[in-house]
Amino acid sequence: MKKMLCLALTVAMTHSGQVLVAQVQNPGVITGAVVDVKGVISGTVSSSVGRPLSDITMQLVDARGQSMGKTVSARDGKFTLPAVSYDTYTLQCVQKDKVIGTSSVTLKAPTESVKITCTSDVVAFWKKPAVIAGLAAAVVAVGATAFVATSGDASGSR
């Protein structure tokens, strides 16, 4: 039992994501080192209309608001950030010096995949012109032969 204790390896994670690796060599004596365990956050950025966004600066910010690393999204919207310690971060989409999207990311494994939605160039998509004008044109095109209505009846019945 004593021998087993001597070989026991203690691993504990601190609140800041660091890992304490300690070895009990003799009863009452602990030696070891604090190892900063890191992981990588990667993912895809798209606009709320579902289009992958390229050339967006993806910036990772810690709880204090300090930048912890950044990268630029590829043509397919994919990005991979530099390795950081296990912790909770805010991921920001930055375009033309404006923050246009955010996401809270908790890194607690060697890799973390994120899908983040940003609001670049979205308004025009939702404002597509309604096609009812085309319907009216179609009615005009076929109206002379396709519609039959009794006099004064606007029900569209034949």
Q: Which stretch binds other proteins (CB under 8 A): 6-14, 22-30, 36-44, 129-137?
A: 129-137
Q: How many CA atoms lie within 13 A of 143 on its CB side?
A: 10
Among residues 101, 110, 111, 113, which is the contact residue for other proteins, using CB under 8 A? 101
Residue 154 found at the interface with other proteins (CB under 8 A) = yes
Neighbouring residues of 59: CB distance < 8 A, sequence distance ≥ 6: 67, 69, 70, 91, 92, 94
Residue 55 found at the interface with other proteins (CB under 8 A) = no
Rounded to an integer, what is the distance from CA 13 to the centroid of its chain?
26
Q: In Å, how far are 92, 151, 158 from 59, measured between CA atoms?
A: 5, 68, 63
User: In angstroms, what is the minimal distance from the CB of 21 to other proteins?
Assistant: 22
Binding site for other proteins (CB under 8 A): 48-50, 61, 63-65, 88, 90, 95-104, 106, 115, 117, 119-123, 125-128, 130-158
